[in-house]
């Protein structure tokens, strides 16, 4: 999503630069850019699981998580604080809302899906 926005912003800039041919170059680059303050956000719990947790937890580096009816509160705690070989993840990496969805997802999803 963010990548698309960046591409759009670049496209808009290129277009602005083309349209502005004949104007001083500085003016072309002074064109307002698309706002980029939109924060990165995970789509849902399944996305975080597949793109982060699965790297270890589907490859036998870490123990299996799904299909064990693990308590979502326990999952959130382990993710935030780590546990021995399990790394901790900060809010800037997995925001609170995504972590909540992730914990629900892991807790409720059967092992093979």
Residues contributing to the site for ligand HEC (CB under 6 A): 48, 52-53, 55-57, 61-63, 65, 70, 75, 78-79, 83-87, 89, 94, 102, 106
Q: Which residue has the tokens 């947790």?
A: 53
Q: Measured between alpha carbons, how far is 96 from 66 in angstroms, rounded to an integer? A: 20
Active site residue 1: no
Instruction: Answer yes or no: are the C-beta atoms of 53 and 46 closer than 8 Å.
Output: no
Q: How far is the CB of 20 from ligand HEC (least distance, A)?
A: 46
* Between 23 and 88, CB nearer to ligand HEC: 88
């Amino acid at each position: 999503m963010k990548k698309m926005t960046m591409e759009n912003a670049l496209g808009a800039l290129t277009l602005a630069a083309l349209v502005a041919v004949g104007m001083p170059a500085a003016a072309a680059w002074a064109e307002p850019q698309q706002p980029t303050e939109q924060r990165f956000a995970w789509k849902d719990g399944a996305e975080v699981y597949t793109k982060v947790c699965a790297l270890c937890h589907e490859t036998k580096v870490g123990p299996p998580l799904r299909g064990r009816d693990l308590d979502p509160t326990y999952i959130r705690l382990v993710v935030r604080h780590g546990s021995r070989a399990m790394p901790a993840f900060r809010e800037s990496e997995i925001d609170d809302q995504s972590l909540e969805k992730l914990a629900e997802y892991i807790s409720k999803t059967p092992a093979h899906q």
